[in-house]
Amino acid sequence: MTLQEFALMLLSVLASVAGQLFLKIGAAKLGRVNVANAVNHILSIVTIPELIIGLGCYGVGALCYILVLTRVNLSIAGPAASLVYVFSVLLGYFIFKEPIPVMRLVGLGFIVAGVILVVWQK
């Protein structure tokens, strides 16, 4: 993976993580969805700016990922995209004050190590 390809992959990951951040913020404004209020909640999604921004970020992330796929093998791009999980957990910890249990931290370490091994080229 060249530096340019890596930068494009990182942009895809960061845009997807930003999408998750905004969707989480918007979902908090939306409130808990159940069978009785599902239709109203689904219709009100278009009125919550954070949800629209989150969907837009996901769109940018998907476009960047498509561009990555034109240059990089799926066997490299797919695992590299799993870094979204790592950044999402960090966002949860730093922004939403969610705890990170030790086992989750170990799992994240395995994800990072796996991505390094997959994209490493001599």
Task: List b or e across 15-45, with b for residues whose CB sees 16 or more CB atoms inside 10 angstroms.
Answer: bbbbbbbbbbbbbeebeeeeeeeeeebeeee
The pTM of this model reads: 0.85
In 3D space, the residue among 74, 60, 52 whose CA is nearest the CA of residue 17 turns out to be 60
Better-scored residue on pLDDT, 49 or 46: 49
More confident residue, 96 or 119: 96
Q: For residue 16, what are the domain limits?
A: 3-119
Q: Residue 92, Cβ neighbours under 10 Å: how many?
A: 17
Share of residues in the chain with pLDDT > 90 (%):
65
CA-based end-to-end distance of the chain: 11
Distance from C-alpha of 36 to C-alpha of 56, rounded to nearest angstrom: 28
Region of residue 25 (phi > 0: left; psi between -120 and 50: alpha; otherwise: beta): alpha
Distance (Å, whole) CA 77 – CA 71: 9
**C-alpha to C-alpha distance for 45 and 56, rounded to whole angstroms:** 13
In this prediction, residue 41 has a pLDDT band, given cuts at 50, 70 and 90, of confident
Count of domains observed in the chain:
1
